Amino acid sequence: MLAFGQKSSVNRRRIIIRVVVASFFILFCFGILIYRLWDLQVASYQGLSERAERNRLSLVPISPRRGDIVDRNGVVLARSYRDYTIEIVPAQIKDVNALIEQLREIIPISDLEVRRFKRRLAGAHRFGSVIVRHNITDEEAALFAAHSYRFSGVSLKARWVREYPQGESAAHLIGYIGRISDKDKEYLEKEGLEGEYRGTDVIGKKGIEASYERQLHGKPGWEEVEISASGRPVRVLKRTDPIPGDNLRLSIDLGLQKMAEGLFNNPRSPQRGALVAIEPKTGEVLAYVSAPSFDPNLFIDGIDVENWRRLADSEDAPLLDRPISGTFPIGSTYKPFVALAALELGVRSAETRVPDPGYFEFGGQRFRNAGRAVYGPTNMHKAIVVSSDTYFFSLGPLLGVDRLHDFAIQFGFGKQTGVDLPGEKRGILPSKEWKRKAFKDPKKQVWHTGETISVAVGQGYNALTIMQLAQATAVLAANGVYMRPHIVNWLENPITRKAEQVVKSPEYTIPLKPEHLRVIKSAMTAVTRSGTARSVFAGANYVSAGKTGTAQVFSLKGSRYNAAALNKRLHDHALYMGFAPVDNPKIAVALIVENGGWGARVAAPIARKVFDYWLSPTRPITPEYVSPFVDEDAEAESSPDVEVPAETPKNPEDNMSEVIPDILGATSDPHHRDNTSSENR
């Protein structure tokens, strides 16, 4: 009995200890639970409440409408329209391939669209939506809406889509948009613009679309959406509307643009080349031709491989923006500027007659006239009219390359003209400093006087753009007033309807003596009356001034040039520069026809037709400097007031007996031939 009582007492104590330990453990657990409840309900309430609210709400970006682009007359060149799309959120889909096959039962989806979708899917955010099909019709949209309950993670959305209704016309200056690349993302992050592109997957890539991207893009809006635990939207709580991008009114006249493009794109004999027309008083680019061209609509949703190969591999280089990216020695079209430099720098007077036996001899070497022509005693007027190489050869050593460089750069040669397009090349306007930097071999860094001889006739190291030649021609026509060339005339705010003019005043004025300008303009006028372009401009109801030029593309190595025996792509390039009317210039033109032959035969006729169109009294005229979105008071404040004094040229010389086509020039082609380097051409 005693033993049993002792054992029972021990068991009781153990039970009591266990109960006490269990009680303390339970109290401890309840203490932790109470503490956590207090922490969640009191200490961390604010932060957790905000997190819960964020989980309940989602900010959805709304892409802005991209601004429209119109020509000077209001003709639409680029616009945005609403398009229905079918989009998939990858995070909500288990088997994408199976889902696409199910979608194909409802709406047609091509294999190309599937491939594009998978490319987009590879770089998309897990919770972002990816387009699988666009350009959904109303019937297809209604059909999908009726079956949408079957497709979790798939939605029908509306987006803004870019369209270029003019197709290939003016494609290089308008440019195009494309999907935002990794390089674009890096740029946006660097500039702190990532937030501006939420909900947007395209950006300007080329042309005006790229250079005015910030103005065209606009600012995104936002929707505050309440979502369920499964992630599906329940209702929109708040909305901030997007701000559309500015509309752009260009200086381009689409009628002139298409007419000039047609001169290059004749179906029977299409030509490669470039043309730029500028209004001298304002700097407005009236036409901008790069032939051949391309259709920018191909790039909107990503160009397919077949079309890309067709464009990229073409030997005609349709993607090359020739007016600002193609560089050429401009041949004899450079001569008026060289002559003006000689007058302004006091190197030679206009009346001085220089013997022209058909060649210029320097350092024991003869540099011959084009066509081996002989002109006899020649003054400056005659030298420009007949395009005497000998006369300008002799000016080279007198001017010196550095003085010629410093004078010509004022007109826009050898620098970016400032035109509002991306990718403009500086070209090469040679100088002693340029040569020291261009060559690594110390022996080649030395400038030789004989090299200036070639430079003085627009050859040698000269490699300039057609935009530079057009701008220089416009500055010459405006008597030295440098208006920055521009394609965008007005920026219009689509909400306030207020417009801002892009260029209002000259950048600078070159101090040129009026008597020197009269000499050059008189000679250039004679070119169209009795000189190398006389037959082209016969019968014109206006007086124009100009200069023909021919750029050579391979080395003759002492032999004579015979176009009939050469491949077409080795023929000379044809150039022309000029302005009209002479007494009050309204248009200045520069152009090149690649492998076209003589400038007088091929390039000058194009310029004549451009002048005829623009100066025709029956052409529809849009009020100059006026935006239709600006009231009269605003217009009065912002319109440019630039007075350019007109100079009346002297009458051209009579009895010009020796007038030949101008076939002197060169290009940056690797096969460049230079007839100034040897006695025999």
Distance CA 489, CA 136 (A): 36
Classify strands 247-250 and 69-70 as parallel, antiparallel or unpaired: parallel
* CA 613/CA 587 separation, integer angstroms: 11
Q: How many residues does the chain have?
A: 681
Question: Distance (Å, rounded) from C-alpha 186 to C-alpha 617?
Answer: 52
Can you say whether the dihedral through the CA atoms of 531, 536, 541, 546 is positive or negative? Answer: negative
**DSSP calls for 382-401:** HHHHHT-HHHHHHHHHHH-H
Q: Judge whether 329 and 460 are in contact, CB under 8 Å.
A: yes
How far, in Å, CA of 139 to CA of 54, rounded?
A: 37
For residue 77, the 8-state DSSP code is E
CA–CA separation, 122 vs 116, rounded Å? 10
Is-contact 236 276, C-beta < 8 A? no
Task: Check if the beta carbon of residue 284 is closer than 8 Å to that of residue 317.
Answer: no
Radius of gyration of the chain (CA): 36
Token pair in block for residue 414: 């050898």
Query: Which residue intervals of 108-224 are DSSP H helices?
Result: 111-122, 138-147, 171-174, 182-190, 207-211, 213-217
The verdict on whether 678 is a catalytic residue reads no
- The sign of the torsion formed by the CA atoms of 228, 232, 238, 240 equals positive
Cβ atoms < 10 Å from Cβ of 622: 13
CA dihedral 537, 540, 544, 547 (to 10 degrees): -10
Annotated active-site residue in 80, 332, 387, 627: 332
Token readout for 661 is: 């086509």
Question: Which residues pair with residue 551 across a beta bridge?
Answer: 573
> Could you please report the per-residue DSSP string of 8-76?
HHHHHHHHHHHHHHHHHHHHHHHHHHHHHHHIIIIITHHHHHHHHHHHHEEEEEEPPPPPPEE-TT--E
Looking up tokens 């002197």 gives 664
**What is the residue type of 474?**
A
Phi/psi class of residue 665: alpha, beta or left (left: φ > 0; alpha: ψ in -120 to 50)?
A: left
Alpha helices in 374-513 (DSSP H): 380-386, 389-399, 401-408, 432-438, 449-455, 466-477
CA distance 131 to 126: 13
- The beta strands (E) that lie in 424-531 are given as 481-482, 488-492, 499-501, 508-509
Q: 161 - beta bridge partners?
A: 81
Instruction: Choose among 436, 481, 473, 462: nearest CA to 579.
Output: 473
Positions marked active-site: 332
